[in-house]
Amino acid sequence: MPRKTINVDWNAVTTALSSGQMTKIEQFASQYGVSRPTAKKMLADKYGNNIIFNRGRAGGIVYNPVPLSPASAVNA
Q: What is the pLDDT along the chain (76 residues), one digit of tens a residue?
A: 677 788 899 999 999 998 888 889 999 999 999 999 999 999 999 999 899 999 888 888 988 877 666 655 555 4
pLDDT reported for residue 36: 92
How confident is the model at residue 38, as a pLDDT? 92
Query: Phi-psi category of 20—alpha, beta or left, where left has phi over 0 and alpha has psi -120 to 50?
Result: left
CA distance 63 to 49: 9
pLDDT value at position 47?
92
